[in-house]
Amino acid sequence: MTRTPRAALAAALFLALAATPLVAGDLPLAFDVSPRIWGADLGIGYTGLELLDGRDTTLWLWAGGGWEQMPFYRDSDGSLAAEYLDLASGVIEHGLPATINASNDPFYQRAEGKWQLGIVQGLVAAEGPDLVVAFLYYRGRYDAHLTQGALIADAPLYAFPDQDGIFQNSLLAGVAYQGVTKNAHKVKSGVAAEASAEWAPSFLISAADGDASFLRLNASARFFLPLFDAVPDRDRNVFSVYAGDFLAVDWITGDAVPLNVRQSFGGRTPRLGLGGAVRGVDSGSLDTNFKAVNNLEVRVLGPALFMPDIVPGLVVYLDAGFFDSAGSPGPAARGFVASTGAGVFVDLFGFAQLTGYLHWRLVGVNANGSALTPLAVDFGLKF
């Protein structure tokens, strides 16, 4: 596979920048770890600067990757191969053609490497983390698409700039309000919100097997409300209940929008969607340039097991999503999906939550012809 001079220059620039925060020896550091099924992402933050008096300045470096089986739900003409309520006709649009094997054909194998370098600057101080922060990141990724399923192999090359993989670079900037807190019983409360813009101009060394030229605008908000705590004065959770809601809106425009961008909601922590962001809908399906999702949950916690930092729980949810595709790629479409379900989880030392879900689609069915997903495992709660 031929590498372009621009790709080599970008890789050298990344390695030089990555080494910069770590050469001074014993430094104040923060860490962030995100496990995957086959892989992981590690973040290292240098907290030894204070550019604004009394507010935190953190220089972050993230790197990671893994091997993943990725979905692709479009027909050879570019139309969406997933069921949804068509808002123009008021009927359920059909999903995969009958000739497609839903277990194999919509999937391809991807080896992925990611890196990210940036700064988070506090703007409004508070007890604990700053209440309002601004952030700026350089992001890079290299995707190698390996074994391809029948759907993506038949897709028109012009419609998917990363069909065979991509070396992709972008800049992400935005602001965030960090008003969510978690007490000793693992109950969350408060509000958090984020707005960001991600820009990948064609000249920013996005090359190799694919190309990228896009602008993405993203906004999201989280709300948490404690409802009940059986023994609030105990040092550990006995039984508690709280509600949460997550809302995100994502819009993308550009001459070359990669599949990995259309298949996700942006921001500092991208998530797969619209399918997947609406739980129980085939993950990665309904990849469009405009999408919105709402996740409403009630979480029941307790009692703590063995020690205060191991807390099991139950989550019940209702999800809804909307998308609007202007017709590139494929025919124009506008639709709605929804689901409901429940899951059991365990919070491990505030580091991770292992969750097992049962999903039920309220609109349409999945590629396998069923509205029910009897067991889905995730490394975290939805938000």
**Contact predicate 252/216, CB 8 Å:** yes
The pLDDT assigned to 209 comes to 60
Question: Terminal CA-to-CA distance of the chain, rounded, Å?
Answer: 39
pLDDT digits 0-9 by tens, 46-61: 999 999 999 999 999 9
pLDDT digits (tens, 9 = 90+) for 71-91: 999 887 888 989 999 998 999
- pLDDT tens by residue, the chain, 383 residues: 334 334 434 433 433 333 343 334 467 999 988 878 889 999 999 999 999 999 999 999 999 999 999 999 988 788 898 999 999 899 998 877 777 788 888 999 999 999 999 999 999 999 889 999 999 999 999 999 888 888 887 777 666 788 888 999 999 999 999 999 999 999 999 999 999 999 999 887 755 567 889 999 999 999 999 999 999 989 899 999 999 999 999 999 998 899 999 999 999 999 999 999 999 999 999 999 999 999 999 999 999 988 888 999 999 999 999 999 887 688 889 999 999 999 999 988 766 788 999 999 999 999 999 999 998 988 888 89
pLDDT of residue 158: 62
CATH topology of domain 5-378: Porin (2.40.160)
Count of C-beta atoms within a 10 Å radius of residue 77: 12
The sign of the torsion formed by the CA atoms of 347, 382, 241, 339 equals negative
What secondary structure letter does DSSP report for 233?
T
* Of 290, 293, 356, residue with least CA distance to 324: 290
Name the token pair of 310. 């191991």
Instruction: Tokens for 341, please give them.
Output: 């379900």
Residues 6+ apart with CB under 8 A from 131: 124, 125, 177, 178, 179
Cα separation, 149 vs 140, whole angstroms: 26
Q: What is the identity of the amino acid at 74?
A: R
User: Which SS3 state, helix, strand or coil, does residue 20 take?
Assistant: helix
| Residue type at 150 in one-letter notation | A
Element spanning 17, H or E: helix 5-19
How many other CB atoms are there within 10 angstroms of residue 2's CB atom? 6
Give the CB-side neighbour count of residue 49, counting CA atoms within 13 A.
14
Contact 321, 338 (CB under 8 A): yes
Q: What local confidence, expressed as pLDDT, does residue 30 receive?
A: 93
Segments making up each domain of the chain, as ranges: 5-378
Candidates 220, 233, 211, 158; CA nearest to 191 is 220
Q: Which amino acid would we find at residue 3?
A: R
Residue listed under structure tokens 């029948």:
150
- The pLDDT tens digits for 238-294 are 999 999 999 999 999 998 899 999 999 999 999 999 999 999 999 999 999 999 999
Q: What is the dihedral of CA 116, 117, 123, 125, to 10 degrees?
A: 80
The amino acid occupying position 301 is L
What is the spatial distance between Cα 257 and Cα 273, in angstroms, rounded to a whole number?
A: 15
Radius of gyration of the chain (CA): 21
SS3 167: strand
**Kind of pairing between the strands at 57-71 and 107-124:** antiparallel
